[in-house]
Structure 1
């Protein structure tokens, strides 16, 4: 597989830093150009079944996307032209799990109740998560967060202002030090997919992908299996 080939291609000294990081999950769905970058190595193409590691950077090309399932059954779906780093992954003790989403579009479905807290960081916002599903778009100095299930707290990094999303199909936008009040998702507002029915049609007009099977049980909203129609665009 990808990791074995990479290990054979470099010296043991270079391989040690990457091998020291634990595997935290694997790729469940890959479409077109999805890559993983570890330490100082160049980004390598990912295929279904490849392991992913703490501190790895995941990147997608234009019209590319991937779904990654972690050891605690959390899943992360990444849309086109996106970049996310898998920062801190500790499933026990005092620490939780942290993603850094630099740009692009994402859909996050956290593990079943009872697992660790997750924090998603963007260049201008932090999103506190436990037991929920939501979409994130990071583009042109703004962060849009759409809630599909559960609850999240969204805070501006600059000003510290926080808002809580607690109703499905509501959203906030973070720009600078300001976070908008939660409001219902409208037809012209961004959404990662069609979880909110007729809302979020702006994304549908921009880019519609074909159906993708996600393995597991329980459907997309629960992080399990089903057929989804991702509607994704960073524009």
Structure 2
């Protein structure tokens, strides 16, 4: 066989394989606050630093006494408290600065979620016990073993169990508490939150600020000199 005729289709196959692999590493946001140990979890763990990309379909984890905030391409702000694990299950872009479909799984820990510029129906947030639909919202979310707490800070949200029991959060302070016990999952609504993300905000500078994707000023604890802007990297 002529070697040139064998090599050419082989090289084409390699290029065709590499393109989807590169595409799978789509940048969907950026780390703007990193305190202590924050890692991305794959076959191995790698540290995340201020300015690093948040990638499609990745899992992020904070250590004890650690925290992080990410700004996504549509200006959604995601804050994580200590010992938290978050997975971007799905991100489908509508255009450069909005999503048609974004699914975020908050597996364990404390979170604050502030919606960005995408249509509110594009967002789907889940914990192991609940599914959360948002309508222009700031939410505090706590995911623990056998318990999830969702506190509305602004906007409105619908919180449902996996068996489709739902409550509507419409006023600041409205809270959904989902509990799994004895093989049954129940949901209750309260007007006085048993918990909020506020303590994490007080403990970490910049953790609960809200930035637009094009105008976020990355900060780190301890502080470093970093004048880079999100759109300038």
- With the shorter chain as reference, the TM-score category is 0.7 to 0.9
Name 1:127's counterpart in structure 2: 132
66, 69, 73: which one aligns with 1:67: 69
Residue deviations 1:127-170 (CA, integer Å, cap 9, x gap): 1113110010011211000100001110001x210001010122
> Which TM-score applies when normalising by structure 1?
0.73
Aligned residues: 193
The C-alpha deviation readout for 1:68-117, integer Å capped at 9, x for no partner, is: 00000001000000101011111329952100111001000001474652
Which runs of structure 1 show a deviation greater than 3 angstroms over 4 or more consecutive aligned residues? 12-19, 112-116, 213-217
Tell me the distance in 2 between the aligned counterparts of 1:57 and 1:64: 16
Report 1:28-177 matches (<5 A): 28-38=32-42, 41-92=43-94, 95-112=100-117, 114=119, 117-157=122-162, 159-176=163-180, 177=185
Does the residue aligned with 2:203 lie in a helix, a strand or coil?
A: coil
Q: Return the alpha-carbon distance in structure 2 between the equivalents of residues 73 and 97 of structure 1.
A: 13
Compare CA radii of gyration and give the structure with the larger one.
Answer: 2
Return the match for 1:181 from 189, 195, 198.
189
Deviation at 1:212, TM superposition (A): 2.7
Q: Tell me what 1:199 maps to.
A: none
- TM-score (norm. length: structure 2): 0.73
- Number of the residue aligned with 2:24: 20
Q: CA deviation at 1:14?
A: 9.9
Task: Kindly indicate which of the two structures has a greater share of residues assigned to strand.
Answer: 2
Per the alignment, residue 9 of structure 1 pairs with none
Structure 1 residue 20, shift from structure 2 partner: 2.1
Tell me if the contact between 1:163 and 1:182 (Cα under 8 Å) persists in the aligned partners. no
1:179-228 CA-partner distances (Å, limit 9, x unpaired): 1023233xxx11001xxxxxxxxx58xx95143374747xxxxxx88xxx
Any idea what SS the aligned residue of 2:94 has? Answer: coil
1:31 offset after TM fit, Å? 0.2
* Residue 209 of structure 1 pairs with residue 213 of structure 2: no
Alignment match, 2:6 = none
The runs of 5 or more residues in structure 1 that have no matched partner are 1-11, 194-202, 218-223, 226-235
Q: Which has the higher helix share?
A: 2
RCO higher in 1 or 2 (8 Å CA, sep ≥ 6)?
Answer: 2
Name the CA shift for 1:137/1:15 in 2 (closer, same or farther; >3 Å).
farther
